[in-house]
Every structure is written in C-alpha cells, then in structure tokens.
Amino acid sequence: MNMRRFMEPYTFGNGAELRNRIMLAPMTNFSSAENGETTQAERDYYRERSRGVGAVITACANVTPGGQGFPGEIGVERDELVPSLKQLADTIKGEGAKAILQIFHGGRMAPPELLPDGQPVSASAVAPVREGAVTPRELEPEEIEEMIEAFGEATRRAIEAGFDGVEIHGANTYLIQQFFSPHSNRRTDKWGGTLEKRMAFPLAVVESVLKAAEKADDSFIVGYRISPEEMENPGITMEDTMQLVERLSSEKLDYLHISVQDFHGGSMRDKSDSRSRVQMIQDAVGERIPVVGVGSLHTPDDVDKAMEGGVPLIAIGRELVAEPYWVEKVAEGREDEIRTELSVDDREELVVPEPLWNAIVNTPGWFRVKEHAEK
C-alpha cells in the first residue's frame, strides 16, 4: 500500500469516518431527468467514482422549483424525489464512500427558461455582470423566510434518502453568496446593508439546515462551500470572507469547503497579493473547523504539496472524471498509470453520461482532450 498522507483515514468531530482524505468535488453533470429524478446513467457515473474516494459530494440539487441553475439538475425540492435520491445515496454508499448531497439555489444565475415563471430571484434586483443577463426580482421578506425553510426541508429529504450529509452551496455566485455580496445585495432591511446584515441569510440557512440535521444520526455531516472573493465592485473581499469564516467556524458545521480554481492561487481582486486563499482560511480557522481544499490539484504530488500547510481534506473533480480509479491506482502503487487526458472516444470506458461528455468535449480548455485514441 502506498501510504501518502491523503490515503490516511479521517474522522470528523461528530464521529463520521472517511476511509481516506480525498473527496469527489461537486461537479454539475446535466444528467438528471427533467423532473429532477436521478437517472441510471448518472448513478453509474457516481458508482464508478465512489469506489476509491472517502466521500462523494454530488452535483448541486435545487431546493425550490425556482432555484434550478442547470439543465439536468438533481432535484430535492419535493418529497416525491426522495426515492430517486435514495437510489443515488445507496449507489455511492454501496461502494464505501460517504454520500453528501450539495443543496443550493441558483438565485439570479438561474436561466429563465428553466424556471416555472421564467423569472430569476435574488437579494436585490441587480443583474449579474455578464452579457445578456436577466435582472432578477427582489425577494420579499416572507419569501426569504420560505427560502430558509426550503434548505431545511431539503436536508430532511436528504436524511430520508439515506445521505450521510449535505453541503450548503454558499459559493460560485449562487443565491446564498448573492445575499453576502454587496454587489447583488443592496437591501436596506434586516437582510442587507452592513456586512453583519449581509451575513444574516447565510447564517439563517446554516441554522435551518443544522436544525433539520438534528433528526439524523449524530454522524450526519453538514458542510458549507464558500467562494473567497468576487471580481465585481462592489464585491466580496477577502476581509469580508475572513469575518464570515470566523462566524461559520463557531457554528456546528463539520467542514468548510473553499471553492477556488487554483488551490495555490492568490487574490482575484489584488494581483499583488499572491497568498493562497485556501491556506489563509486554513491558518485563520483550521484549528476550529476542518477545511476542504480544491483547485487544479492533478497528481498525487500536487495533493501532498497542498496538504503541507495543514489542510486535512482535498476535493478533486476533473481528475476523477478523467481517471475514475485515481485513488485506487495510488493505493496500488500504479501512479504512473493515472490518466491525465481524454480522447473523444473514451466516454463509455469512463462511464460518463452523454450530457456531461458533450459539455467536456465542447468546452475548450476545461479538460485535456485529444481527438482520438491512438490505435
């Protein structure tokens, strides 16, 4: 056995045990049915990638019908979806990995054509900075309370479906982040204005989820994903984020997942600040809450290097799409056999659903794709 540090087991404070410290990062796969049910192709994809990792964080699942952010998204917004969710949880757990359902609401980033009324909603009626963006409708105070409750209800369904945990998606410019951001939140009531008030919605969602999680076993995992900064002005700064992570670290959360493109990358707002955002958060709160690092960590050596600063858990995504047996090959001393690029002919061998495969081969630069495998 190759005992790199990330191959060691990990036990959360609540007693949940992972067989190793590698998690499948949450990646949209566009492969659920139109009604939000998981599909066989989607479950097969997860089964293949659940055999080696310690935990699987699923693609995001929308907590209300108006929160869908992608076509083919997992649904968790109504009770009829619990049997389908259970099939997914059982698939992942059947291979020995912990199954964590990522719960989210797209907010102003939700495509109108996917929404029942065609109208995205957000903290304020401020459009995202992108070409052709639709201006969202500002949520009414009672709708905000309903949204908070929806995250709790989604957690209840995840528990009923047999998931080992949920990850609150407070990152990547979606609704929870929109409430924290001074760009998308221009409210003057208790949900916006000062930094403290912009934290109110994220913290209320955490409270709702943790309350729902009390009905589960003590080892039920609740994580929170965060993006450290935004490009926009006004936008989230690292100073804002450090205050939020201080607050989050005092909640009964089991981990904090830092969403960045590059684990070692510096500030997107200040090019002169090259410090790793992940490491800064680890240094600030890592002794109080486990930090999950992610971002362009392709090889076992990359993961080892990222963990040198004390980050205890690492999520990898594209690497496990290209090489479903990444962890097993490390364990068996076959690191030189880890696949690092795809050919357009590899879909069936890699057990990737067609909608995700089409996105991979048609998105330049996302994956290393060669035209055809060598004969």
Q: Are residues 296 and 153 part of one domain?
A: yes
Same domain, 285 and 136: yes
The yes-or-no verdict on residue 166 having pLDDT over 50 is: yes
Say yes or no to pLDDT of 19 above 80. yes
Model pLDDT, residue 89: 98
pLDDT tens per residue, range 296-352: 999 999 999 999 999 999 999 999 999 999 999 999 999 999 998 898 899 999 999
CA distance linking residue 11 with residue 19, whole number of Å: 9
pLDDT surpasses 60 at 1: no
Tens-place pLDDT, residues 357-366: 999 999 988 9
- C-beta separation of 256 from 245 below 8 A: yes
Burial class, 217, CB count within 10 angstroms (exposed 0-12 / middle 13-18 / buried 19+): exposed
350 and 326 share one domain: no
- Reference 66, options 166, 172, 146, 173; nearest CA is 146
Each residue of 333-344: pLDDT tens digit?
999 999 988 988
The per-residue pLDDT for 185 is 98
Domain match, 345 and 286 both? no
Q: What is the DSSP string of 154-176?
A: HHHHHHHTT-SEEEEEE-TTSHH
Task: Provide mean pLDDT across the span 73-97.
Answer: 98
Tokens of 234: 């006004």
Domain shared by 331 and 364, yes or no: no
pLDDT attached to residue 3: 72
Phi and psi at residue 339, to the nearest 5° = -75, 130
Instruction: Place 374 in a pLDDT band, splitting at 50, 70 and 90.
Output: low
Whether 174 is catalytic is yes
DSSP secondary structure string, 59-79?
EEEESSGGG--STT-EE-SSG
**203 and 306 both lie in a single domain:** yes
**pLDDT in the model for residue 161:** 98
What rounded mean pLDDT belongs to the chain? 96
Q: How many residues are recorded in the chain?
A: 375
Q: Are residues 191 and 237 in the same domain?
A: yes
Question: Over the stretch 100-147, which tens digit does the pLDDT of each residue have?
Answer: 999 999 999 999 999 999 999 999 999 999 988 999 999 999 999 999
**Residue in 174, 224, 255, 325 annotated catalytic:** 174
* Predicted confidence (pLDDT) per residue in 209-222, tens digit: 999 999 999 999 99
Same domain, residue pair 248 and 362: no
- 121 in the same domain as 251: yes
Q: How confident is the model at residue 370 (pLDDT cuts 50, 70, 90)?
A: confident
**Which tokens belong to 223?**
């994580």
Note down the domain range covering 53.
Answer: 5-335
Q: How far, in Å, CA of 25 to CA of 16, rounded?
A: 18
Residue 150, SS3 per DSSP:
helix
Based on the fold, state whether residues 345 and 211 are members of the same structural domain: no
Is residue 49 within 8 A of residue 63, CB to CB? The reply is no
Cα separations in angstroms, 194 against 113, 182, 197, 224, 245: 34, 9, 5, 22, 16
Residue pair 221/100 in contact (Cβ under 8 Å)? The answer is: yes
Q: Are residues 69 and 199 both part of a single domain?
A: yes
Q: Is the pLDDT of residue 375 over 80?
A: no
The count of structural domains within the chain is 2
Residues 6+ apart with CB under 8 A from 233: 183
Query: 9 and 135 share a domain?
Result: yes
Give the integer Cα–Cα distance in Å for 118 and 137: 11
At 274, which helix (H) or strand (E)? none
Residues paired with residue 17 on neighbouring β-strands, in sequence order: 11
